[in-house]
Structure 1
Amino acid sequence: MLFIKCDELRPGMRLAKPIYSKKGVLLYDRATVLKDTQSIENIKGFGLIGLFILEPAEPVPPMTADDIEFERFQTVMYNEIMEELQRIRAKGKQEKFPNICAQIIKSYGNLRKKITFQQALRSEEDYIYKHSLNVAILAAAITHAMNVPLSEQNEAVMAAVIHDIGKLTLPTDLQSKQHTTEEERAVIDGHEVQGYPIIDEAFSFQPNIKRACNQARRMLLDYWNGNPIDSQKMLLAAKVLVVAGIFDKETAVRLDDSPTSEVVVIRKMMNRSDVFDPKVVKGLIDSLNILVPGVSVELNSGEKALVIRTNDDDFLRPTVLSFRDNTIIDLSDRRSYGELEIVDIMKTMDNRYVMDTAKIKALGINVEEPNYV
């Protein structure tokens, strides 16, 4: 699979992922062949920075119905959030905001199963909108896993969607920059604070929205600048915003930088319980499919292995199959494998993993069969 910028698309290329309209209508399905220059010009008009393209002999990667719906939902909600944030900046009033948050909670804030969180490729221009959407999806899932009241779940999701509205006035390169200097952080912080009067006006009857945004901002600024951390009086929405925001920021798929794996990010959070509330981090872990059957991992011994059984008690210590000699390693057995641990995840270019279940079953290992479309 290759990522090709729209200006470099050529007739004969095959799409690796579906393309949807702003309303969620399927325009081009997977494996669609770009037959002529007109279809390429049509795609350029969608405002995409590029597409994932299948190599000549590459089969179409399998996707479940949940995978496809997640991508469709992201496309629709990204456009709705972009239009709503621009409207709030211009008029100081919300229009579709409650409905946007209700849709996010309905889709990902009351599920009885974990979700596979797929990151869409983002550019400098669309970073804030896609970040806001993803943080809101994570906030909905985390608060559901924590079994908090609907009112607190709604506050967390609303804060997630609106929290970066002040950053929209930044130069686009600073909106999405992964690693910033202290001077750049001061500039970013100034723009973020300038957005609070807008939040105040649009949410005058919900003061906790601005309060949560401000508390999360101060916490992260102290964290990045190495200052003492005080989280005693923080709202739950603010604690969720900190965890969800950092998780999305560091695992984001960008043109100019490789994403950090979920395992590395969550380990970092678990090592800083003063910044990342352990209950919220657990809510994140309980919401997402991370080290599940089919994921290829790297061990601290240098070995590569395949996860074949999830560990619900400690997701970082599942059962894996070593690629070196086909031995089964149960990392939950600390007496035998106490020194061995997973250090990273290996994924495909579009941040997805695929497992050949037939080969695994041939080894006598029982795994759940994904329901691919």
Structure 2
Amino acid sequence: MKFIKCDELKPGMRLAKPIYSKKGVLLYDRASVLRDMQSIENIKSFGLIGLFILEPAEPVPPMTQEDLEFERFQTVMYNEIMEELERIIKKHKQEKFPNIVAQIIKNYGNLRKKISFQQSLRSADDYIYKHSLNVAILSAMITHSMNVPLSEQNEAVMASVIHDIGKLTLPVELQSKQQTTEDERNIIDGHEIQGYPIIDEAFSSQPNIKRACNQARKILFDYWNGNPIQNQKTLMAAKVLVVAGIFDKETAVRIDDSPVSEVNVIRKMMSRPDVFDPRVVKGLTDSLNILVPGVSVELNTGEKALVIRTNDDDFLRPTILSFRDNSIIDLSNRGAYGNLEIVDIMKTLDNRCVMDTSKMKALGISVEEPEYV
């Protein structure tokens, strides 16, 4: 599988992932062949920056129904959020905002199991809209996992969708820049602040929305600049926004930069409980499939291994199969493996993991078997 920009697409290429319309209608299924230039021109009109394309002899990678639904939902909500944020900037009034938030909570704020969080590729032009959507989805899952009141869940998701509206007035290259200088951070911070009067007017009856955005901004501004963190009387929505925002920002799949692995991001959060509330971080790890069967990992010894069983008590210490000697290592046994740690994850290009569960079962290892499509 490889990523091809739309300008470089050629007839005969096969799609590795489905393409949906703004309304969620399937336009091109996986393995669809780009038969002619008209098909390519049609795809270009969708505003996509590029596509994941299968190698000539590569089979279609398995995806679960949940994976496909997540892709469809992201496409629909991305377009709705983009239209709504642009409307709010122009009119300082919300129209579809409550419905957007309700859809996110309905689909991802009431789950009874963890999900695999698939990151879609971003460009500078669509970064803020996709970031806002993903942060909102993460916030819905985190608050549900934490069992917070519905009112606070609503505030967290609302703040997540609207928090970056001021950044839309930034130069495009600064909207999604990963590594920034102090001067650039000051410029970004100023634009965020300029967006607050808009939030204040659009959410005049819900002052906690602007308050949560402002509190989260201050915490992260001090974090990036190495200042002491002032987080007394911080709203739950702000605490969730800080964790969800950084997780999505660091793990985002970009054209011009490589994502940080989920393990490294969460380790960084755990090392700074003054910035990232440990309860919220746990809500995040309790919501996502990260170190699950099929994930290849690198250990602090330099060895490579395969995760064969999750650890619900401490996701960073699952049971693994060493590639060096095929030995099974239960990292939860700190007495035997206390000095052994997972330092990173190795994934496929589109950030997914797939394993042959039948072989694991033949070894007597019980693993969950997803229903691939």
TM-score range (shorter-chain normalised) is: over 0.9
Aligned AA (1:4): I
Question: 2:353 maps to what in 1?
Answer: 353
Per-residue CA distance 1:266-307 (angstroms, 9 max, x = gap) = 000000000000000000010101111111111111111111
Question: 1:218 maps to what in 2?
Answer: 218
Structure 1 range deviating more: 72-81 or 319-328: 319-328
Deviation at 1:360, TM superposition (A): 2.3
How many residue pairs get aligned? The number is 373
Question: 1:329 maps to what in 2?
Answer: 329
Q: Distance in 2 between matches of 1:62 and 1:94?
A: 40
SS of aligned partner of 1:137: helix
SS of aligned partner of 1:52: strand
Question: 2:108 maps to what in 1?
Answer: 108
SS of aligned partner of 2:320: strand
Question: 2:165 maps to what in 1?
Answer: 165
TM-score by length of 1: 0.99
Deviation at 1:357, TM superposition (A): 1.6
Question: 1:245 maps to what in 2?
Answer: 245
Deviation at 1:108, TM superposition (A): 0.2
Question: 2:154 maps to what in 1?
Answer: 154
Aligned AA (1:284): L
Aligned AA (1:151): S
Q: Distance in 1 between matches of 2:361 and 2:113?
A: 24
Q: Distance in 1 between matches of 2:329 and 2:36?
A: 51
Aligned AA (2:209): I
Question: 2:281 maps to what in 1?
Answer: 281
Aligned AA (2:334): R
Please say if 1:13 is aligned against 2:21: no
SS of aligned partner of 1:40: helix
Report matched runs for 1:132-151 at 5 Å: 132-151=132-151
Aligned AA (1:202): A
Structure 1 range deviating more: 93-102 or 287-296: 287-296
Q: Distance in 2 between matches of 1:53 and 1:359?
A: 28
Question: 1:266 maps to what in 2?
Answer: 266
SS of aligned partner of 1:35: coil
Question: 2:256 maps to what in 1?
Answer: 256
Q: Which runs of 4+ in 1 moved over 4 A?
A: none
Q: Distance in 2 between matches of 1:351 and 1:370?
A: 17
Aligned AA (1:269): M
Deviation at 1:358, TM superposition (A): 2.5
Please say if 1:311 is aligned against 2:337: no
> Structure 1 vs Structure 2: percent identity of aligned residues?
84
Q: Distance in 2 between matches of 1:102 and 1:318?
A: 35
Q: Distance in 1 between matches of 2:113 and 2:182?
A: 40
Q: Distance in 1 between matches of 2:51 and 2:101?
A: 28
Q: Distance in 1 between matches of 2:120 and 2:195?
A: 26
Aligned AA (2:65): A
Please say if 1:87 is aligned against 2:87: yes
CA-based RMSD of the aligned residues comes to 0.6
Q: Distance in 2 between matches of 1:222 and 1:79?
A: 32
Question: 1:290 maps to what in 2?
Answer: 290
Deviation at 1:365, TM superposition (A): 2.1
Deviation at 1:368, TM superposition (A): 1.6
Q: Distance in 2 between matches of 1:326 and 1:13?
A: 38
Aligned AA (1:369): E
Per-residue CA distance 1:207-242 (angstroms, 9 max, x = gap) = 000000000000000001100111121000000000
Deviation at 1:172, TM superposition (A): 0.6
SS of aligned partner of 1:190: helix
TM-score by length of 2: 0.99
Deviation at 1:67, TM superposition (A): 0.3
Question: 2:39 maps to what in 1?
Answer: 39
SS of aligned partner of 2:132: helix
Aligned AA (1:132): S
SS of aligned partner of 2:148: coil
Report matched runs for 1:183-198 at 5 Å: 183-198=183-198
Q: Distance in 1 between matches of 2:368 and 2:285?
A: 20
SS of aligned partner of 2:321: strand
Per-residue CA distance 1:22-70 (angstroms, 9 max, x = gap) = 0000000000010111000000000000000000111100000000000
Deviation at 1:356, TM superposition (A): 1.6
Q: Distance in 1 between matches of 2:195 and 2:217?
A: 12
Report matched runs for 1:225-244 at 5 Å: 225-244=225-244
Unaligned 5+ segments in structure 1 are none
SS of aligned partner of 1:307: strand
Please say if 1:129 is aligned against 2:119: no
Deviation at 1:369, TM superposition (A): 1.2
Aligned AA (1:307): V
SS of aligned partner of 1:205: coil
Q: Distance in 2 between matches of 1:243 and 1:20?
A: 30
Aligned AA (2:190): G
Aligned AA (1:246): I
Deviation at 1:361, TM superposition (A): 2.6
